[in-house]
Chain A
Amino acid sequence: MEPVIECQGLTKRYGSLLAVDHVDLAVGRGEVFGFLGPNGAGKSTTIRMLLGLIRPDAGRALLFGQSVAAGQRRVLKRVGALVESPALYDYLSGRKNLEILSDMSGGCPRKRIDEVLELVGLSGRQKDRVGTYSHGMRQRLGLAQALLPKPELLVLDEPATGLDPEGIVEIRNLLRYLGESEQMTIFVSSHLLHEVQATCTDVGLLSRGRLVTRGRVADLLRQGHLEATIGIDDAARGREVLRSLPFVLAVESEDSALRVRVEAERLADANRALVAAGLAVSALVPRQGNLEELYMSVMTEAGHACSSAD
């Protein structure tokens, strides 16, 4: 099946700075794709090239097999986008903004405007000037304008920026709903790694303009190692047994239990060794992998000097 988004050797240079460096990427239909990377990694530049806002120096960015930069702009009818902070007309009402942007896409029933306003929780303020909106409300309106044409592909650049915790949860639920119920392909860049982990099916990590990792979230988190908490009757002895096993990477005491890190898929072997040594295992709780750890480890490996995911 043809990918919804396809980057082929996508490159952009600003003077001596290589902002995007030969990025090859494909996002299939129905994926909720998280696009991650530190500030300045080239995420927004890549998104802008996808949407035809920036012309690539080399390579191609295709949406539904067509290049917006090469003038095939009709494809944008199938796309909803929110690029960075929502930029809307402050002197117009929220509703008028949506009407104008809808007309630019060929128009949509006024009922659809009501629907998206309801969806983002702005029905009550739709007649107020956008200049009076809070940052969070602007963000919601930005999301509403992206959803307006009932897009097959939703491209969101930092959609949760500036939202309060309730707003972040609402966005998370909305993206889940759109991905699962509406079968929408969603391409979202974000620094909120736990949100990406909770929402996205796939991720790609960008570092210094290069795509350093790409895959399904579940697969990436299973890679490498697994952590688990083991409830055991004799923690000291259990620690000795586990330390003697070559696939056990680390063992730490945690109250009366043990916390172990083992190679992927080897937790059952560790349990078998404990039982064989005559120890009673009362609990074996694998700990869910963490995208933040994966991110930090990939970024360290890629040599990106970053201390956090912002």
Chain B
Amino acid sequence: MLALVRIELSKLYRRRGTYVSFACLAALVLLVAVPISCYKEKVDHSLRDELSSGMGDDWVVGGKVLAGPFVPRVMLFWPMRKLVVNILLALFAAMAGGSAIAGEYSAGTLRTILTRPPARWKVFVAKFVVMAIYAASLAIFFGLFAFIVGYALFGRGALVFADMPADMGSGPRPMGAPIIQEGAAVQMLGQAYLLMGVSIIAAMSLALFVSSFTSHPLTAAGAALGILLLSTIVGTLGSAPKEIEFLAFFRTIRPYLLTTHMNLYEIPLARGLDQAARVALTSSAGWLAGYCAAFFAGGLLVFRRRDILC
């Protein structure tokens, strides 16, 4: 099994196309971070304004307010994170998961490897493991690169970010924006990016499942992405106010949707990991694990019985 995983990893990371997704994520970080760096003084000023808002004119904010953790945090700024996770990362995961089986099927290489001794279930498990590693590595790379760029441009320091609810920070708590000490900020953002990896693994599982019964990678990726977007739309309708009665059905199914639980990476950002957050996180992680297990089992069942005609 380990040999198969190694082979699949070697195939994945020797393909130039694999690096397009990493390059896109790096470009996105630079596209956001470089302008901030160019207008560093204005951003700094605006953050100081945020911190001193409601304190009166005799308050002066001293010290450094724009530091390394600002970049990874700004990448998770709403609505940026929705676009990045629900569209960009989901697209990469769907493309990779979709091509894992359907791509090899259409290229004919699946018949070459299936005339070798390893059992089909082992081939499927190896592909699943490698795709999960790839999906997680996307989120980890995204976070790490954002940290690296942030620290390279702005150096060390605490995180000051206006999007944060006031009850979340440690240290002085001004009205407009909390200050989170550097260590706590790195921990919080690290957790968020790791949980983002879990979300992407779930999206990839869906794509791999669709890939197990489709004959073309684009069909598989398109179908998986379509399902994710549909689920996002349904979830958005389900989050509408209760006063809108005709959306009651969507409100009912929203808690069970894959995309609802794919948002689990937002939990540490919103509340930190207090008791309530841990419960919510555990619940969402359980749902995602369930979805992954169902997609894995369904994909394996289909793949084991599938006729290789191409």
A binds B: yes
Q: Assuming the A-B contacts A89-B109, A92-B14, are A76 and B115 also in contact, with contact meaning beta carbons closer than 8 angstroms in the complex?
A: yes
Provide the A38-70 mask, 1 if CB < 8 A to any CB of B, else 0.
000000000010011111000000000000000
Give A83-112 as 1s and 0s: 1 = Cβ < 8 Å from B's Cβ atoms. Answer: 111111111100010001101111100000
Residue-wise interface mask of A (136-175) relative to B, using a CB-CB cutoff of 8 A (1 in contact, 0 not)? 0000000001000000000000000000000000000000
Bound: A144/B211 CA distance, A: 30
Contact A53 B307 (CB under 8 A): yes
For the complex, is A206 an interface residue (Cβ under 8 Å from B)? no
Contact A89 B11 (CB under 8 A): yes
Does any Cβ of A come within 8 Å of B175's Cβ?
Answer: no
> How many cross-chain pairs have Cβ atoms below 8 Å apart between A and B?
74
Question: A53 near B308 (CB under 8 angstroms)?
Answer: yes
Query: Do A55 and B111 touch (CB < 8 A)?
Result: no
**Which residues of B70-126 are within 8 A (CB) of A?**
107-119
B115 A83 Cβ-Cβ under 8 A: yes
Q: Does chain B have a CB within 8 A of A287?
A: no
A47–B124 Cα gap in the complex (Å)?
A: 23
In whole angstroms, what is the CA distance A88 to B15 when docked? 13
Contact of A48 with B14 at beta-carbon distance under 8 Å, contacts A73-B118, A104-B117, A104-B118 already known: no
Is A242 an interface residue, CB under 8 A from the partner? no
Assess whether B309 is in contact with A54, with CB atoms less than 8 Å apart: yes
Binds A, one of B2-10, B192-200, B251-259: B2-10
Known: A48-B308, A53-B307, A87-B107. A105 touches B117 (CB 8 A): yes
**In-complex Cβ contact of B114 among A53, A96, A103 (8 A):** A53
Q: Tell me if B305 counts as interface (CB < 8 A to partner A).
A: yes
| Chain A neighbourhood of B114, CB < 8 A | 51-53
Cβ of B16 < 8 Å from any Cβ of A? yes
Q: Are A104 and B108 in contact (CB under 8 A)?
A: no
Give the complex CA separation of A105 and B3 in angstroms: 10
Our pick among B11, B119, B307 for the contact of A100 (Cβ within 8 Å) is: B11
- In this complex, the interface size class of chain A, counting residues with CB under 8 Å from chain B, is 20 to 34
Cα of A101 to Cα of B109 in the assembled complex, Å: 11
Q: Are A87 and B11 in contact (CB under 8 A)?
A: no
Contact in complex: A101, B117 (CB < 8 Å): no
Q: Does A74 contact B (CB under 8 A)?
A: yes
Given the complex of chains A and B, what is the CA–CA distance between A52 and B307 in angstroms?
9
User: Chain B: which residue is nearest A53 at the CB level?
Assistant: B308
How far in angstroms is the closest Cβ of chain B from A90?
8
Q: Is the CB of B307 within 8 A of A87?
A: no
Chain B residues contacting A88 (CB-CB under 8 Å) are 109, 112
| CB of A71 within 8 Å of the partner chain | yes
Contacting residues of chain B (229-274) with chain A, CB-CB under 8 angstroms: none
**Known interface pairs A83-B111, A101-B116, A104-B116. Does A91 touch B309 (Cβ–Cβ under 8 Å)?**
no
B107 to chain A: which residues have CB within 8 Å? Answer: 87, 90
**A91 B115 Cβ-Cβ under 8 A:** no
For B15, the chain A residues whose CB sits under 8 A away are: 91
Our pick among A76, A85, A91 for the contact of B16 (Cβ within 8 Å) is A91
CB of B14 to closest CB in A, whole Å: 6
CB neighbours of A74 from chain B (8 A): 117
B11 surroundings in chain A (CB, below 8 A): 89, 92, 100
CA distance in complex: A83, B309 (Å): 11
The reply to whether B308 and A104 contact each other, CB–CB distance below 8 Å, is no
- The answer on a CB contact under 8 Å between B109 and A87 is yes
A194 at the interface (CB under 8 A from B): no
| Cα-based distance from A84 to B110 in the complex (angstroms) | 13
Q: Is the CB of A105 within 8 A of B116?
A: yes
Complex Cα spacing A100 to B126, Å: 14
A79 to B115, CA, bound (A): 9
Check if A81 is an interface residue, CB within 8 A of chain B: yes
Q: Which of B4, B14, B309 contacts A104 (CB 8 A)?
A: B4
A87-B112 Cα distance, complex, nearest whole Å:
6
Q: In the complex, how many angstroms separate the beta carbon of B294 from the nearest chain A beta carbon?
A: 24
Given contacts A89-B11, A100-B11, A104-B4, is CB(A145)–CB(B112) below 8 Å?
A: yes
Which residues of A sit under 8 angstroms from B4, Cβ to Cβ?
A: 104
> Per-position contact with A for B1-34: 1 when CB-CB < 8 Å, else 0?
0011011001100111000000000000000000
Q: Are A87's CB and B118's CB within 8 A?
A: no
Contact between chains at A54 and B308 (CB < 8 Å):
yes
Judge whether A103 and B115 touch: CB under 8 Å. no
A74 to B116, CA, bound (A): 9
Q: How far is the CB of A101 from chain B (nearest CB, A)?
A: 7
Contact indicator A91/B307 (Cβ below 8 Å)? no
- Taking the complex as formed, is A266 at the interface, i.e. its CB lies under 8 A from any CB of chain B? no
Interface residues in B113-151 (C-beta closer than 8 Å to A): 113-119
> When the two chains form their complex, are residues B305 and A101 in contact, meaning their CB atoms are under 8 A apart?
no
- CB < 8 Å neighbour of B117 from A53, A85, A92, A106: A106
| Cα distance, A71 to B14, chains bound together (Å) | 31
Known contacts A71-B119, A85-B108, A87-B107: does B113 contact A101 (CB below 8 Å)? yes
Is A222 among interface residues, defined by CB-CB distance under 8 A?
no
Q: Which residues of A contact B307 (CB under 8 A)?
A: 48, 53-55
Q: CB-nearest residue of chain A relative to B106?
A: A87
B residues sitting closer than 8 Å to A (CB atoms) are 3-4, 6-7, 10-11, 14-16, 107-119, 305, 307-309
7 other A-B residue contacts (CB within 8 Å) besides A53-B308, A83-B111 = A55-B307, A71-B119, A81-B115, A91-B15, A96-B14, A104-B4, A105-B116
20 CB-based A-B contacts, threshold 8 Å: A48-B307, A48-B308, A51-B114, A52-B115, A53-B115, A54-B309, A55-B305, A73-B118, A76-B117, A83-B112, A87-B109, A89-B11, A91-B14, A91-B15, A91-B16, A101-B113, A103-B6, A104-B113, A104-B116, A104-B118
- 8 closest A-B pairs by beta carbon, nearest first, are A87-B108, A53-B308, A104-B116, A81-B115, A76-B117, A54-B307, A87-B109, A51-B115
